[in-house]
Structure 1
């Protein structure tokens, strides 16, 4: 076994691991990224979850998430708006190619794919060594290595390194009595109801890819799917079930929670040390997803076919291949670090009636936020939907989640001095995990962890000793992917004074009202700038113009009636949202944006003239 010193080791395989390694290396830190497979993007690529949820509004399209989104839009000729679960959809290989290009341009970043993490050597409060095997393309051991890292980041979906290090962590449910979370079960129920033992974490999904044939259509009166999937199309019908995750080129992401390919059994086998039991779980999940795809194919009478887009061998670096199955499961939850701060459900919910943002972390002084998320909160279990406290609001003609902030302390281990967490392994409660587990936020959490690691190495500090202000300023002022720690509803990523507004809100959180708008007193107005007009937004690939009569529908939505059609209208732009809110009666306008007939909606970005 060879031994190697490394300043920063990132155990990846998750979206957050790739983000942490890229950002740390961009900030100058010599970084080694270790992934168990040959793809590095986790959810956004290898797991095939390519219709991202959350952070869809332009104020939240910042950091590595925003940079990835805009590069995907540049690379996908047909645009990204193709489905009804998200405003974005792309080929998994496209995201993987973007991430690999970012990795390849960084001389200070080394990536070792196809690694098996065997053990973590921890002495007292410090991780001293990582023991691993490097495998070749056939799965044979090519080398055994012990790494001696200065700092370690766990950027995996399931918190594998945290578990092997015996770092204090949580796995599964917590009782309502612990933090008084409104949606958590009571301790009595946790003790007595066998459901909680059968379902220790949220259900994962093994995503499969399909192809809709252009020479066929969805059959009228399509039959129900065969068991156990007979109820999968009951709520929306076959066509809506399939176009839920539609992608460019008539591809579809099969990731369906309602009697579909979510997997609910034997999940504790993913968090032990029994490799044979975990292998059985993997095979069962794969077979279940393929059976669901086959049932959909049969019911569609040839409209849907399987799309063989992933390498069949999970160790292959190819960006195309003969398998419809993603290279890894979509884990919604894993081990969760016990950090210096713990995000609980109340940290995600609006401050009060009519409030547009959740409480800011950090008390009355400077905010301790390092990333913004806004997903509504969503938990996947068998049976009826788990009732969750509402955190959504009507915005821009659609529903969106109330934004919340993740504090830096949620990334820092309370007990292991050189350990940071990214991806889903950050310090959150089981209930809060339903809102913090999504791709956009995880990308920016990984970015924050990577930036923190680089600053720690530069200043010879442990993560718990890192001053907060330099980290926040580094994220905001990053030249490649400036990231927003603060939830400014009125400030899209493309606002010319975006950086100044973020820094002002970090320095004095009292400037940010409960409506999420930044107050601009006279002394600050010049440096912070005015809000944008509804005619001000960047051009995007594939945009078009429509002219017609625009009016509110009385239920928080809007419609544009043209000479030939009547379209629901949505927007992701704050200036247009404010303009729509003030709409009084019908108005003849010309709007610019993108058409999504599967939504269906017109997603408008600006007024023309």
Structure 2
């Protein structure tokens, strides 16, 4: 087993981990960054989820480095893809013309841009990326993590990393149990949080469904996959609140819970520039093909794309049979979630009702080359909910909810380290809950939510901050995760520079002012402007 050292160790190379590493590197620090999958970028790349963002994203409400990522994706398309002149001139280019986001794109493009952002630091030797490595053990001395051991995913040995600061940017908060850091999972009780949507008793294993996404196009020929072994089970599967079988076009509306019917029309001859993406439910959600489309063929010169490419992250792939955190059969559930997605694909190809009255779309072709997964699906499951630290401050529903707060404008915290905006949007859960949807004010990210109550040098850098099961539904999206990671990385660098601790930064007015000034100098927005229409 080999050993290495750095100023900071960032475990997990998702959006939060990449942003944390970049913040540390910009501050002149050395970093070891680990990632267990083949691509950096997490939910944007290996999980293949187009960015969910608020409706003001093109103007404000994200960090400068996140905007650089978005700009880089658009520039990559203009530099390397055969766009039509009309699309090339589109200032707010949406390559997929998907309705879920103003920037739907192929995952590999984000990988290329992220690698370009990190490349100078790799070249200088200040960044070492260990990939594919996953954490397997940690050493702790009192309230400090002294080292973390990571293991090569494919049997390439172990490396122990020692660093003054350790950032947990894993998708499920893997370092929290390894280090004995206090954390919570699932639903907290209403008695603990006072949240209107919380249950009377805590439900630690009741977590949002995970989903295994996949990309498809529609071309001539029969591209039907082999019938999955569990297809019979999933074909008859019907959650009690679903209104039909899971494998159908019918499902609950996430806002009203009314049973609604989606449509599915491959390759509609639509104009990509006519798309109006909104973080609120848009008309594009009605046609599942265009909702998360990541390549619109009419954005490219004729003949470049035989078909649109769409990303399947639809209600029917939400896996409800069990959680994948703190259970002995997590691996079985992850495997079953992949089988569910393959079963959905098989249903689409063979039995799904068509608008013309027929059944099945055999021309649907699985595009594993787009997602990079060995089985044709995304490399990693989309994890909506992580272990979450017991933090100095926990964001609760009352902080965000329009129904509770009324029209008071954006949520403000004295120790803000960033901003975000998204409704509380909880998918159906492993405990049998239907969607939970709560309208929110634009919000800030409190520094107190990034600091564990006890541990002094371990920082969360993703969905493992001090939110609840409910408020995680607003804080789990792409730009917020990036902002959280960037703030955590900047905090570690600031503490190293000043010889102080995260707890002291939050508790000291002068230190907090200096840290917030550093964030704003780096392009992190700490306050929302006056906005309307949320």
Shared fold, TM over 0.5: yes
**Superposition map of 1:440-519 within 5 A:** 440-466=479-505, 467-478=511-522, 482-489=523-530
Tell me the residue number matched to 1:206: 212
Deviations 1:256-292 (A, max 9, x none): 12xx10111121x4324x4xx3332221111111111
| 3-state SS, counterpart of residue 425 of structure 1 | coil
Distance 1:7 1:62 in 2: 24
Tell me the residue number matched to 1:406: 445
How has the CA–CA distance of structure 1 residues 130 and 174 changed in structure 2, closer, same or farther, with 3 Å as cutoff?
same
Distance 1:127 1:65 in 2: 29
Q: Looking at both structures, which has the greater relative contact order when contacts are Cα pairs under 8 Å and sequence separation is at least 6?
A: 2
Tell me, yes or no, if the aligned pair for 1:16 and 1:422 is still in contact at 8 Å.
yes
**Superposition map of 1:57-72 within 5 A:** 57=57, 58-72=59-73
Moved over 6 A (4+): none
Deviations 1:299-331 (A, max 9, x none): 35245321122576x6xxxxxxx6531111110
Deviation at 1:62, TM superposition (A): 3.1
| 3-state SS, counterpart of residue 32 of structure 1 | strand
Deviation at 1:133, TM superposition (A): 2.1
Tell me, yes or no, if the aligned pair for 1:52 and 1:89 is still in contact at 8 Å.
no
Tell me, yes or no, if the aligned pair for 1:334 and 1:425 is still in contact at 8 Å.
yes
Deviation at 1:70, TM superposition (A): 1.6
Tell me, yes or no, if the aligned pair for 1:37 and 1:114 is still in contact at 8 Å.
yes
Residue 354 in structure 1 maps to residue 369 in structure 2: no
Deviation at 1:88, TM superposition (A): 2.2
Deviations 1:124-147 (A, max 9, x none): 111111122235xxx122x32222
Deviation at 1:296, TM superposition (A): 1.9
Tell me the residue number matched to 2:179: 165
Aligned-pair RMSD on alpha carbons? 2.5
Tell me the residue number matched to 2:301: none
Tell me, yes or no, if the aligned pair for 2:212 and 2:382 is still in contact at 8 Å.
yes
Tell me, yes or no, if the aligned pair for 2:190 and 2:198 is still in contact at 8 Å.
yes
Tell me the residue number matched to 1:89: 104
Distance 2:334 2:247 in 1: 23
Residue 99 in structure 1 maps to residue 114 in structure 2: yes
Q: Taking structure 2 as the reference length, what is the TM-score of the superposition?
A: 0.77
Tell me the residue number matched to 1:493: none
Deviation at 1:27, TM superposition (A): 1.6
Residue 438 in structure 1 maps to residue 444 in structure 2: no
How has the CA–CA distance of structure 1 residues 215 and 354 changed in structure 2, closer, same or farther, with 3 Å as cutoff?
farther
| 3-state SS, counterpart of residue 23 of structure 2 | helix
Distance 2:406 2:220 in 1: 48
Distance 2:24 2:365 in 1: 41
Q: Taking structure 1 as the reference length, what is the TM-score of the superposition?
A: 0.68
Tell me the residue number matched to 1:390: 439
Q: Which moved more, 1:124-133 or 1:433-442?
A: 124-133
Tell me the residue number matched to 2:228: none
How has the CA–CA distance of structure 1 residues 149 and 82 changed in structure 2, closer, same or farther, with 3 Å as cutoff?
same
Deviations 1:326-351 (A, max 9, x none): 11111000110111211111122248
Distance 1:126 1:449 in 2: 16
How has the CA–CA distance of structure 1 residues 101 and 464 changed in structure 2, closer, same or farther, with 3 Å as cutoff?
same
| 3-state SS, counterpart of residue 395 of structure 2 | coil
Tell me, yes or no, if the aligned pair for 1:183 and 1:388 is still in contact at 8 Å.
no
Tell me, yes or no, if the aligned pair for 1:7 and 1:149 is still in contact at 8 Å.
yes
Tell me the residue number matched to 1:255: 313
Tell me the residue number matched to 1:559: none
Tell me, yes or no, if the aligned pair for 1:311 and 1:323 is still in contact at 8 Å.
no
Tell me, yes or no, if the aligned pair for 2:423 and 2:437 is still in contact at 8 Å.
no
Which of 406, 409, 423 aligns to 2:462? It is 423
Deviation at 1:152, TM superposition (A): 0.5
| 3-state SS, counterpart of residue 7 of structure 2 | strand
Q: Which moved more, 1:68-77 or 1:27-36?
A: 68-77
Distance 1:284 1:182 in 2: 33
Distance 1:113 1:457 in 2: 26
Residue 237 in structure 1 maps to residue 263 in structure 2: yes
**Superposition map of 1:582-593 within 5 A:** none
Distance 1:213 1:64 in 2: 38
Deviation at 1:242, TM superposition (A): 2.2
Which of 342, 348, 364 aligns to 1:290? It is 342
Distance 2:187 2:167 in 1: 24
Distance 1:419 1:352 in 2: 33
Deviation at 1:105, TM superposition (A): 1.4
Distance 2:112 2:175 in 1: 26
How has the CA–CA distance of structure 1 residues 386 and 301 changed in structure 2, closer, same or farther, with 3 Å as cutoff?
closer
Residue 176 in structure 1 maps to residue 190 in structure 2: yes
Could you tell me which runs of 5 or more consecutive residues in structure 1 were left unpaired when the two chains were aligned.
Answer: 191-195, 217-224, 315-321, 362-366, 392-401, 491-514, 516-555, 557-576, 578-609
Tell me the residue number matched to 2:321: 265
Tell me, yes or no, if the aligned pair for 1:48 and 1:207 is still in contact at 8 Å.
yes
| 3-state SS, counterpart of residue 361 of structure 2 | coil
Could you tell me which runs of 5 or more consecutive residues in structure 2 were left unpaired when the two chains were aligned.
Answer: 79-86, 88-92, 223-233, 238-245, 251-259, 266-286, 297-307, 353-359, 506-510
Distance 2:445 2:426 in 1: 19
Number of residue pairs aligned between Structure 1 and Structure 2: 440
